[in-house]
Chain A
Amino acid sequence: MATLTYREAIRAALSEEIERDPNVVILGEEVAQFNGAYKVTEGMLEKYGPKRIVDTPISEAGFIGMGIGASMLGIRPVMELMFWSFYSVAFDQIVNNAANVRYMSGGQIACPIVIRGPANGGTNVGATHSHTPENILAHHPGLKVVVPSNAADAKALMKTAIRDNDPVMFLENTLLYGVPGEVPEGDITLPFGRAAIAREGKDLTIVSYGRSVVHSLAAAEKMKAEKGLDIEVIDLRTIRPLDVDTVLKSVAKTHRVLIVEEQRPFCSVGTMLAATIQEEAFDELDAPILRVGTIDAPAIYAPPVEKQFQLPNPERVIAGILKVMR
């Protein structure tokens, strides 16, 4: 066991996979000489050299498309988006090429890419830099979507992502990069589609992913202390594939569901989850499924306002808990 920050855990995964497979290449803006805009790839250029750690020009459609093309020949590019918000610059390449070339060729081609980077608000970087596109990416069959909430999961899931022969969209969080966690040593991977029970309980199921898991756990702690509530918190870990069974099993136990996510509610991941739960576990529900999400406007700049009112936080989660428990 070692204590690593979330970013160090990702860096460890990238390094281990680079050493393991000569086809793995890290590409992105500022990943090499600058040591990474968020220091995820710090030190890697010095260790692995410019053939494996590649600085790209600011050209998302170009270099992501290039990586997809190279992956058709067996290269395994791990491409950084400095902010997942920049995915929209490369949107055509992602949804029409990465997601579709296998299908359109009748299964003759694989696209073993990873696109990784931070997807979050809460850092006052404004409406164009604060996107969380898990829902939009997961909507496209052909893509896989991964959202680790802690260091151990980040490392294990990144290794799985790089070895996966399908295009994997890996969404990190700048506010999680510095958070330490216990990370098991060794070559450990986690299969996609296996959620974690972050906290066991019997009174309510909170389903969450990414940093919202942290808020949900904080809220659950407080509700235990103040109201004696035993809340089960599920960390989905991956959106596509999705561990629906773990969620349904929990609903059968608690009969109430609160979904907590850093997404605007319209067509969010939670919307999809709510539809599935009520379709398949309607009789288990004692209350409507409620969601705590981002307030439905572009990301506001004013720092305290974004943090306190627009994004999920423990206080807003508690308000959601009280509402669904009524």
Chain B
Amino acid sequence: MSKKPSAPAESGAAPAVTPTLPSPHAQAPANTALTAEQKIELYRKMVRIRRFEERCLPVYNAGKIGGFLHLYIGQEAVAVGACSLMGKDDHVITAYRDHGHAIAVGMDTKPLMAELYGKVTGCSKGKGGSMHYFAPDLNYWGGHGIVGGQIPLGTGLAYGVKYQGKKGAAMAFMGDGAVNQGAVHEAYNLAALWDLPVLFVIENNRYSMGTSQERSSAGELGKRAEAYDMKWYVCGGHDIYEVRATLDEALRRARDEHKPAVVEIDTYRYRGHSVADPDKTYRDRKEIEDYRNTKDPLQIFQNQLLFEKVLTEALIAEIDAAARAEADRAVEFAEASPFPTAEDIQKDVYWETDQAQRTSEGRIFFNSID
């Protein structure tokens, strides 16, 4: 995790975190503005993400999900915290660890599971898969497979919002592995040069696939913003109140002043990079256990809300049961749904050919003998 801007010199090791109660970020205006019901909903969303992701694993191992599966377990506070701050003209785009953001913006888990199965009832009609969840109606623009490739797109969302004279911002998420892609640097420059209301949110879970931050990146991640005269923030990603407090400030500045920023968020994934990752070669079991035991975002917020007397043990159990049942229903829905047909393969390619009448002439698809 990078040092905060203007922090006193520290050793390189991440500070040991023993979550204190109450959270030091509970009094931030963004959090005191929340009603009890809203706080419960934040907690519920994190639990729903956790249970959905956990439910994906046996399904994948049973061969129902093909290709990649990049689970968000451990990072829930980041997506839920960030998306909970969205106004009607704010937008979100992320990379392929996108299930958390999808649920956080409000997508229904049945089409999400169906998409993993490749069924036509999937949120992308079975055409995208795990890495390509989209919900334009919820201002959620995917779900992208090429590392860093979504960052110029996120800059474009901000450009569009500003061009249309709207008061909004784009949050363009990436992992710690994306910060070295050329396209990301190009996007940073464009945003800073043109005062685009975009937040470049780095979900730093310390490993890009099997390569640690120390082995990938020279210098600190958030601090690279200084090369573009761009403001940067760094915060912990385990306490959802902290995520909200930091992003609320950054979002207001982006919306009000059209100023971009880099926000580096310290987070952690318990599972491997994807389910294909044996997770044996690059980190310690002990490190993972340590995070689970002391920095789990669900546990931290649960403790906080118990302290605030917003949650009870009974409600916690109810929320958990409901989340597990929801994930089961999503699986049932996916199992019962059909696959797309061969005729579906060439739909959704062009806007034009999806309409009732074509406006162009000639041949637009070229097939071999079939």
Whether both chains belong to one complex is answered with yes
List residues of A whose CB falls within 8 A of some B CB: 25, 51, 56-57, 59, 61-75, 92-93, 96-97, 101-110, 112, 141-142, 144, 164-166, 191-195, 238, 240-245, 272, 276, 279
B132 touches A193 (CB 8 A): no
B160 touches A65 (CB 8 A): no
Which B residues lie within 8 Å of A64 (CB)? 152
Q: Pull 26 A–B residue pairs with CB atoms less than 8 Å apart, ordered by A.
A: A61-B183, A62-B186, A65-B152, A65-B153, A66-B190, A68-B152, A69-B159, A73-B156, A92-B146, A92-B183, A102-B348, A103-B127, A103-B349, A104-B134, A104-B142, A105-B136, A106-B123, A106-B126, A107-B348, A107-B354, A141-B349, A165-B352, A166-B351, A191-B360, A238-B360, A243-B363
B359 touches A93 (CB 8 A): no
Docked pose: A166 CA to B354 CA in angstroms? 11
Is the CB of B212 closer than 8 A to any CB of chain A? no
Known: A70-B163, A109-B136, A240-B364. A142 touches B349 (CB 8 A): yes
Which of these, A75, A101, A110, contacts B163 with CB under 8 Å?
A75
A65 touches B360 (CB 8 A): no
Shortest A244–chain B CB gap in Å is 5
Docked pose: A148 CA to B127 CA in angstroms? 34
Closest to B355 in A: A165
Which A residues lie within 8 Å of B132 (CB)? 104-105
Which B residues lie within 8 Å of A109 (CB)? 134, 136, 141
Query: How does the 8 Å CB contact mask read for B62-74 relative to A, with 1 for contact and 0 for none?
Result: 0000000000000
Docked pose: A312 CA to B300 CA in angstroms? 70
Shortest B11–chain A CB gap in Å is 36
Shortest A276–chain B CB gap in Å is 7
Which B residues lie within 8 Å of A97 (CB)? 144, 149, 153
Query: How does the 8 Å CB contact mask read for B112-153 relative to A, with 1 for contact and 0 for none?
Result: 000000000011111110001011100001111110010111
A241 touches B364 (CB 8 A): yes
Is the CB of B10 closer than 8 A to any CB of chain A? no
Is the CB of B182 closer than 8 A to any CB of chain A? yes
* Chain B CB within 10 Å, residue with most, of A56, A71, A103: A103
Which size bracket describes the interface of B in this complex?
Answer: 35 or more
Shortest B334–chain A CB gap in Å is 15
Which A residues lie within 8 Å of B186 (CB)? 59, 61-63, 65
Which B residues lie within 8 Å of A66 (CB)? 152-153, 155-156, 159, 187, 190
Shortest B199–chain A CB gap in Å is 14
Docked pose: A69 CA to B124 CA in angstroms? 18
B156 touches A242 (CB 8 A): no
Which A residues lie within 8 Å of B142 (CB)? 101, 104-105
How many A-B residue pairs have C-beta atoms within 8 angstroms? Tell me. 191
Is the CB of B299 closer than 8 A to any CB of chain A? no
Shortest B27–chain A CB gap in Å is 36
Shortest A270–chain B CB gap in Å is 14
Docked pose: A104 CA to B93 CA in angstroms? 14
Shortest A297–chain B CB gap in Å is 28
Shortest A77–chain B CB gap in Å is 8
Is the CB of B362 closer than 8 A to any CB of chain A? yes
Closest to B134 in A: A105
Docked pose: A96 CA to B161 CA in angstroms? 23
A104 touches B183 (CB 8 A): no
A141 touches B362 (CB 8 A): no
A105 touches B128 (CB 8 A): yes
Docked pose: A244 CA to B364 CA in angstroms? 10
Is the CB of B193 closer than 8 A to any CB of chain A? yes
* Chain A CB within 10 Å, residue with most, of B93, B141, B187, B349: B349
Closest to B91 in A: A73
B183 touches A93 (CB 8 A): yes
Which B residues lie within 8 Å of A105 (CB)? 124, 127-128, 132, 134, 136, 142-143, 348
B146 touches A57 (CB 8 A): no
B362 touches A242 (CB 8 A): yes
Which of these, A71, A166, A245, contacts B362 with CB under 8 Å?
A245
Is the CB of B297 closer than 8 A to any CB of chain A? no
Shortest A49–chain B CB gap in Å is 13
Docked pose: A224 CA to B181 CA in angstroms? 57
Closest to A244 in B: B363
B190 touches A62 (CB 8 A): yes
Is the CB of B361 closer than 8 A to any CB of chain A? yes
A65 touches B183 (CB 8 A): yes
B124 touches A73 (CB 8 A): no
Query: How does the 8 Å CB contact mask read for B167-187 relative to A, with 1 for contact and 0 for none?
Result: 000000000000000110011
Which A residues lie within 8 Å of B346 (CB)? 141
Docked pose: A93 CA to B189 CA in angstroms? 17
B361 touches A194 (CB 8 A): yes
Docked pose: A64 CA to B93 CA in angstroms? 17
B149 touches A106 (CB 8 A): no
Within 8 A of A (CB), among B332-368: 346-352, 354, 359-366
B149 touches A92 (CB 8 A): yes
Which A residues lie within 8 Å of B359 (CB)? 164, 191
Is the CB of B20 closer than 8 A to any CB of chain A? no
A59 touches B157 (CB 8 A): no
Closest to B359 in A: A191
B352 touches A164 (CB 8 A): yes
A96 touches B146 (CB 8 A): yes
Docked pose: A240 CA to B361 CA in angstroms? 10
Is the CB of B18 closer than 8 A to any CB of chain A? no
Within 8 A of A (CB), among B179-205: 182-183, 186-187, 189-190, 193
Which A residues lie within 8 Å of B152 (CB)? 61-66, 68-69, 93
B155 touches A69 (CB 8 A): yes
Which B residues lie within 8 Å of A192 (CB)? 360-362
Which B residues lie within 8 Å of A238 (CB)? 360, 362
The 3 A-B residue pairs with the shortest CB-CB distance in the complex, in nearest-first order: A69-B156, A65-B152, A193-B362
A272 touches B146 (CB 8 A): no
Is the CB of B100 closer than 8 A to any CB of chain A? no
Query: How does the 8 Å CB contact mask read for B275-304 relative to A, with 1 for contact and 0 for none?
Result: 000000000000000000000000000000
